[in-house]
């Protein structure tokens, strides 16, 4: 029987693993995957090849690329996501360690004193009249014993039904979920930085154009006032131009506030305090424009790559493993405890190899009468797995909708921008032709200033549309889940 004992323990450890095995995510978004292309990717600028992780570099703005890199390196949100990864990895390490025996060193001293008990001469010397050294006689006598021990204790609970292995499996899936959460934070952060930067440059450019428009309107108003004094213009014309000027000047007020707000937003996103980036961002720069060809990949690539979908898939895997961990609690558990040490009634015994003592304590436990607690825990885990399954399918549909919507907006903005550019060219041509008439003396300066103001209004509309096109391009990259890369370790 003793010879077979070493063979029993490995068999017990590998007895069975209860609970369902994870078979992968459900086939969500199957129709889109089979179609192999996005429905709204009908624009000539859209190409079906996968996009690049550092999509912001395709905008060709060195300042923007530097700001995104600094944000990814310094953002508190990224630091928090990385801390959650370390927490999940620590829990995984704990789960793996729980599969192995636990050994600890012990040093023990015990002094035992019991009334009316003869513990032997080593526990104290008895007096010649029959009384113990502690005094008293008969049933009131007190005997004492000293005990010294130095050794180690060990315990091990074999994973009979795979509950601990399922716990490790769930913890490993949670680590993957946390890495996907980090990637999702990186995607959102890079998009936020790019959008704030584009909005800043747009506000700066529109502020300059508005200032130019104010100058033209001021000149036209002054000329009209002179004509009014001379009796060749009406009071209505003066008031109309005065109202236009006040309206244009009023538009510069919120634009100035927007410039300050976007600069502060970029400072905070990069881990700085508001105002620290003012010197870098104060010099105006043109709005960066998207590349001529926008790579979007296909729905299958989106589902496999987008971080929030990956996070939901890992949560489903963890929920599936947790069912097995809860089911294992319904079965008996076996635990082995042991003590190995040197000891006796004298201090010197802890150094005597002849006083070696060993104790093996196997313990079998089974909560067979728990009034349904374990079964309820299993049902709870199954419900959580079903919720995770539904959440994953919902995330896939949301991701596909997000991508389709962003592609539709991007295509619509491109068409709108093309129309506005044609309108601007017509306004500029009209200004050029009227200048020729003015120089020939067949048109007034007021007419020329008004036509130039209209051309500036067209330029402002084009500036806004260009900025919106880049913002929509950023939204496409975010919807595709770009802006992160696989961890190196």
pLDDT in tens, 475-484: 999 999 999 8
Q: Which of 245, 167, 259, 163 is nearest to 212 (CA)?
A: 245
Predicted confidence at residue 353, as pLDDT, reads 81
Least confident among 91-105, 106-120, 317-331: 106-120
Tokens 């050029």 sit at which residue? 432
Q: Is 480 helix (H, G, I), strand (E, B) or coil?
A: coil
Predicted pLDDT at 316: 96
198 neighbors 466 (Cβ within 8 angstroms): no
Q: Which CATH architecture has domain 32-114+144-479?
A: Up-down Bundle (1.20)
Contacts of 3 (CB under 8 A, 6+ apart): none
Cα(310)–Cα(412) distance, rounded to whole angstroms?
Answer: 30
Lowest-confidence segment of 21-35, 263-277, 355-369, 381-395 by average pLDDT: 355-369
b/e map 51-70, b = 16+ CB within 10 Å: bebebbebbebebbbebbbb
Candidates 455, 471, 456; CA nearest to 412 is 471
What's the mean pLDDT in 137-146?
66
Q: How far is CA 170 from the centre of its chain?
A: 19
- Domain residues of the chain, as ranges? 32-114+144-479
Cβ-based neighbour number of residue 145 at 10 Å: 16
Lowest mean pLDDT among 48-57, 82-91, 219-228, 262-271: 219-228
Contact between residue 362 and residue 334 where contact means Cβ atoms under 8 Å apart:
yes
Residue 103, pLDDT above cutoff 50: yes
Give the per-residue pLDDT at 339.
81
Helix (H) or strand (E) holding 298: none
From residue 325, how far is each of 6, 166, 363 by CA, in Å? Answer: 27, 5, 21
Q: What is the CA radius of gyration of the chain?
A: 40
Question: Burial, 317: exposed, middle or buried (Cβ in 10 Å; 0-12, 13-18, 19+)?
Answer: buried
Q: What is the residue-averaged pLDDT of the chain? A: 86
Residue 292 has what DSSP assignment? S
Residue 48 has pLDDT above 90, yes or no: no
Q: What's the rounded Cα separation, in Å, for the pair 300 and 407?
A: 16
d(CA 30, CA 360) in angstroms, rounded, equals: 58
> What is residue 113's three-state secondary structure?
strand
Q: Which helix (H) or strand (E) holds 1?
A: none
């Amino acid at each position: 029987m003793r010879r077979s004992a070493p063979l029993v323990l490995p068999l017990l450890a590998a007895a069975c693993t209860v609970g369902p095995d994870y078979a992968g995510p459900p086939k969500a978004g199957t129709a889109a995957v089979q179609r192999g292309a996005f429905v709204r990717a009908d624009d000539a600028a859209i190409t079906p090849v996968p996009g690049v992780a550092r999509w912001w570099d395709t905008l060709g703005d060195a300042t923007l690329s530097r700001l995104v890199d600094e944000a990814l390196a310094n953002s508190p949100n990224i630091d928090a996501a990385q801390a959650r990864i370390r927490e999940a990895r620590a829990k995984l390490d704990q789960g793996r360690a729980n599969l192995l025996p636990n050994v600890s060193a012990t040093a023990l001293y015990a002094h035992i004193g019991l009334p009316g008990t003869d513990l032997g001469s080593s526990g104290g010397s008895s007096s010649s009249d029959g009384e113990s050294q502690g005094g008293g006689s008969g049933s009131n006598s007190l005997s004492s014993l000293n005990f010294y021990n130095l050794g180690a204790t060990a315990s091990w609970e074999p994973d009979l039904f795979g509950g601990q292995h399922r716990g490790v499996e769930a913890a490993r899936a949670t680590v993957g979920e946390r890495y996907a959460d980090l990637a999702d934070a990186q995607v959102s952060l890079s998009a936020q930085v790019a959008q704030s930067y584009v909005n800043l440059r747009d506000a700066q450019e529109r502020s300059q154009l508005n200032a130019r428009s104010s100058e033209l309107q001021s000149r036209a108003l002054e000329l009209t006032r002179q004509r009014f004094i001379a009796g060749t213009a009406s009071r209505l014309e003066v008031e109309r131009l005065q109202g236009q000027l006040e309206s244009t000047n009023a538009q510069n007020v919120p634009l100035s506030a927007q410039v300050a707000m976007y600069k502060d937003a970029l400072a905070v996103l990069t881990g700085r305090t508001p105002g620290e980036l003012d010197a870098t961002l104060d010099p105006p720069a043109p709005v960066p424009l998207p590349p001529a060809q926008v790579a979007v990949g296909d729905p299958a690539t989106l589902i496999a790559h987008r971080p929030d979908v990956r996070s939901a898939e890992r949560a489903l895997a963890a929920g599936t493993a947790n069912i097995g961990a809860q089911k294992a609690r319904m079965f008996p558990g076996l635990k082995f405890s042991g003590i190995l040490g040197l000891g006796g009634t004298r201090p010197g015994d802890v150094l005597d190899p002849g006083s070696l003592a060993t104790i093996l304590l196997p313990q079998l436990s089974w909560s067979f009468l728990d009034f349904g607690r374990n079964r309820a825990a299993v049902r709870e885990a199954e419900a959580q797995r079903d919720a995770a399954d539904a959440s994953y399918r919902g995330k896939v549909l949301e991701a596909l909708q997000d991508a389709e919507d962003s592609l539709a907006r991007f295509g619509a903005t491109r068409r709108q921008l093309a129309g506005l550019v044609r309108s601007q060219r017509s306004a500029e041509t009209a200004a050029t032709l009227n200048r020729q008439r003015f120089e020939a003396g067949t048109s007034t300066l007021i007419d020329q200033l008004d036509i130039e103001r209209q051309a500036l209004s067209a330029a402002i509309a084009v500036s806004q549309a260009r900025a919106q096109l880049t913002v929509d391009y950023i939204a496409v990259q975010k919807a595709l889940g770009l802006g992160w890369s696989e961890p190196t370790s």
